[in-house]
Each structure stands twice: as structure tokens, then as C-alpha cells.
Amino acid sequence: MHAPIAYLFNGQTIATADVPLVPMAQLRQGVIELVAGGGHLSAFFAVGAEECFRMHAVVCVPQREQLAVLAADVSGDYPALTPECWPANWFEREIYEQTGIRPTAHRWLKPIRFQPRGRRAAVAAVAAVGDLDFFSMQGAEVHEVAVGPVHAGVIEPGHFRFQCHGETVHHLEISLGYQHRGIERAMAGGPDRRSLHYMQTLAGDSTIGHSGAYCAVMEALGEIQIPRAAETVRAAAAELERMANHIGDLGAMAGDVGFLPTLNYCGRIRGDVLNLTALICGNRFGRGLLSPGGVRFGLDEERRRKLLQGLASVQKDLGSALALMFDTPSVVARLEGTGVLSTDLARRIGLVGPAARACGLLNDVRSQLPYGAYRFDIVPAAAYPSGDCFARAYVRWLELDQSLAFIRRQLAAPGLEDGLLKPCPPPLPDRMVVALTEGFRGEICHVAATDRNGRFAFYKVIDPSFHNWFGLAQALRGQQISDFPLCNKSFNLSYCGHDQ
């Protein structure tokens, strides 16, 4: 029996009572069929009281350019989706950690964040972060290497446990949660004056991506359409954010293979792009630019002129720095064949963003579920099929060219000076909305529902890194342990975005 499913456009609301409520067996089968048919599991989570939880599933269905939504009430264990739907793996570990409801037949129910687990007796105790039994191997010349959570650099904390035979990695287990701040719990009962700040700082390098999704949620719940010019400024800022991070990633990958010219050039050029964002709003990361109802800063002719001049300079310098890197045979040889993920494995894991597109998948919210200015100027997915570190670098280069051209087209639009912010009404009661944006790492998904008073009954955030950490672990299988820094940087996943 097929489960009833509600289909929504990106950023469309639905009455809470209209979300199809089905038996858990039907939800399970519905999600498995949608994903097997080419869908992508964007969100799967549980909310509710201590005795009964409501499971929500959101599946992106590119063929329809819509999101499939359905729910089920669960009070006890249920058959896991993971054995038949791998993208559910991380979600089901989170559900068990948060609620104590066990997805039976799931073989890897370890904590992903080590967060407080509620009052259910079975999971009342909170393990210390990182305190868990790691997978182990036995045999001659088998050894274990532990890295982190404190690393040799000013970077975020995470623990990596390698099972090696000689120099070959047979298994990598990743333990996170060191930066869990409880943002989703803090959002419940909102919105309030802190809500936008939480979204801007959830993952600092994705300020525009996450705050854009939050604004889309608020505008949908308030039933307003923001000015077209505000959508233009938002999209331009999002592409500047993508450019700054892609440039930084390419420079860091050059550094990891010992190619210092591109490393040094990209460090400076990234700063130039951040300064262009600061030219718009006064903050290099875009904080304070977006607000429910539009944007707080416009672009007069002088700012537009300086932005276009800055983009021309960036394009010239970046072209030279990246050509130097990609035209060097020793660099290309180091990137090719390292950290390979097949297209089939990437699809089965549920990768998103450049990591997915580097495996030949066309996953890109801007083209699959277009929103804002992307509805009128769709950016095609830039893909490359080899699935290795070279592909992950090359896709970033392609996207940099796309972003430069897109921003120039947006800056040619009229009326970007003022009138870019409308009052945003309070959220309507008893409504649910799903909003997706394409951050520089991939799909950002925000799911929110209001209670009868128009306050957030729950607010769920899925950062793209949530989908991709398992992909990094798979990319290391069969590699030399010395390949880890390069593979890790080629994914460049967010610890705080995952941990929240």
C-alpha cells in the first residue's frame, strides 16, 4: 500500500494538520521508494513528548522540482530504514541518540553529537563526548592511529580513528559532537531577537546560506513575498560566500600537496572576496545583511562599480593562480586517483554539494529546487565524474567561473539602491515549512513548524556536512594514511555545522 504524500515547493507552507500522518511502516516504505526512484533524503527526524514521537521525513524529488513530506507517530522501536536506504544512517543514529527509540536492524547506533538525551530511562545517561567503543581490527601489522580532537592548527575539533594495515587505511571512524551548542533547542519557542543571530553563527563560513534559509522560513510563515531586488542582493551575497570558500579550499588543497604558490595567492584572493561582501554590508562574512523581509543594505551605483572592479581583479588573479596549479603535472598527479568515490556509492550514501557533483551527480538546489533570484537565472550544476580529489578541486574551479558570471548578471538589475526590506508579519499558527538553499558545501535544509500561538514548535537544521561526513570516511578506504589531510580538505566539512 502506497503512503499518501504531500508535495511542496521549496519554501512553501502547509497546515500542520495537512501533513500526511501514516503508519511507520508506510512512511518507511514511502521514503525507501522515493529515494530509490532518484530522490534525496533531505531530513528525517523525530519531535514530541517522552512517550510518543512524531517522525518527519522530507525527500527532495528533482523530477517534480518539489519536496515530498510525510509523518508517522512512533512510541517504540521500528524497523530501520538504513539497511535499504543508506542516506538514513546518520539520521537514525541521531533519532536514537535524542529519543531512545531504536531503529531495529541498524548496526551502528553510536552517538553523533553526545548531546543530552532526554528523560527516557533507556538513554538517561549522557556519555562524555568521544567516549565510545571504536571499531577495531586484529592481525599482524595491523595498527590504530588516533587523530584529534585537538589538531595541529587553528581548526575545529573532531576525532578520527584509523584502522590500518601498514600504511593502508582499511577503516576510518569519525567522532564529532565537541561543538554541540543546542541551537535547535534554543530555537524552540521562537522566533525572538536571538533567532537570526543563531542562524548567522550556526556555521560561520555559511552565514548567508543558513540565514537565507531561516529568512525563507520566516517569510513563508508570514506569507510575504520580498522585493525582487532583495532576492538579487541575497543571491549575489550567496555567490560571494561560495567564491570565498571555494578559493580558500583550493588554496588549502594546493598547500596539502606542497604547492605553495597557489596556496599563498588564494589566501590573499579569498580576502579580496571577503572584502567585497564587507563592501555591501560592513561585515566580511555577511552578518547583518539578511533579515526576514529582505536585506538591510542596498547597492547604489558607486558600490556596484566597486564590486564590478573588484570582481574583475579577482577573476584575473584567480585565473593565474589556478592555472598555475592545474597546469603543473605533479599537482594533478597527486590529486588524480586519490580519495575516489564512485557515482553509485555517492548516490547510495546521499552526498550533497561539490562532493556529490565531483562524482557526476547533478545535486544542486539552485537548479533542482530553484528559489529567490535562481528562479529567474538558474545556475546549472557543474559536475565531473571521476570522484577523486582532482574532481572535487575541478568542480570548485567550474563553480567559481559560474559565480563570477552570475554576480555580474545580477548587478546589472535595476533598483538595487533602496526599498529592499519589507515588514515581516509574525508566523501563522499551526503551519509547517521546508526551506532549502545551496550553501558552498551543498544543500542546507531548514524545517520549522509553529504551534497554535505562532511560536516554533520545533526548528530542525540539516547542514550539508551532516550528509557528507560518512562520504569522507568511505573515500579513505584503501588509501594511504598520508592521503588523509588532502582528502579531508577536498571535502572541507563543517564540525560546528554538524554539531550545532
Q: What values do phi and psi take at 188, rounded to 5?
A: -60, 135
What pLDDT does 121 receive?
38
Contact 238, 410 (CB under 8 A): no
> Is 131 exposed, middle or buried (CB count within 10 Å of its CB: 0-12, 13-18, 19+)?
exposed
How far is it, in rounded angstroms, from Cα 371 to Cα 9?
A: 9
Residue in 294, 290, 298, 233 with CA at minimum distance from that of residue 423: 294
- Each residue's pLDDT tens digit in the chain (500 positions)? 477 999 999 999 999 999 999 999 999 999 999 999 999 999 999 998 777 899 999 999 999 999 999 999 998 899 999 999 999 999 999 999 998 899 998 988 888 888 765 545 344 455 666 677 788 888 888 999 999 788 877 788 999 999 999 999 999 999 999 999 999 999 999 999 999 999 999 998 999 999 999 999 999 999 999 999 999 999 999 999 999 999 999 999 999 999 999 999 999 999 999 999 999 999 999 999 999 999 999 999 999 999 999 999 999 999 999 999 999 999 999 999 999 999 999 999 999 999 999 999 999 999 999 999 999 999 999 999 999 999 999 999 999 999 999 999 999 988 888 889 999 999 999 999 999 999 999 999 999 999 999 999 999 999 999 999 999 999 999 999 999 999 999 999 999 999 99
Task: Please name the residues in contact with 480: beta carbons below 8 A apart, sequence gap of 6 or more.
Answer: 167, 168, 169
**Length, in residues, of the chain:** 500
What pairs with residue 14 in β-bridges? Answer: 432
CA–CA separation, 159 and 136 (whole Å): 15
Residue whose C-alpha cell reads 539602491 in the numeric block = 417
Collapsing DSSP to helix, strand or coil, 184 comes out as: helix
pLDDT of residue 276: 98
Q: What is the reported pLDDT for 68?
A: 98
DSSP H stretches of helix in 291-376: 301-326, 329-335, 343-349, 353-357, 365-368
Are residues 117 and 185 in contact, defined by beta-carbon separation less than 8 angstroms? Answer: no
**pLDDT, position 1:** 47
- At residue 36, the pLDDT reads 95
- What percent of the residues of the chain are helix, what percent strand, and what percent coil, each to the nearest 5? 45, 20, 40
Number of DSSP helices (H) and strands (E) in the chain, helices first: 16, 15
Closest CA to 231 of 421, 464, 27: 421
Query: What are the backbone angles phi and psi of residue 455, rounded to the nearest 5°?
Result: -100, 160
Strands (DSSP E) found in 138-214: 142-147, 159-165, 168-175
* pLDDT at position 417: 87
For strand 142-147 and strand 103-104, is the pairing parallel, antiparallel, or unpaired?
unpaired
Residue 195 burial (CB count, 10 A): 20
Residues 6+ apart with CB under 8 A from 153: none
pLDDT for position 139? 85
User: What gap in Å lies between CA 233 and CA 265, rounded to an integer?
Assistant: 28
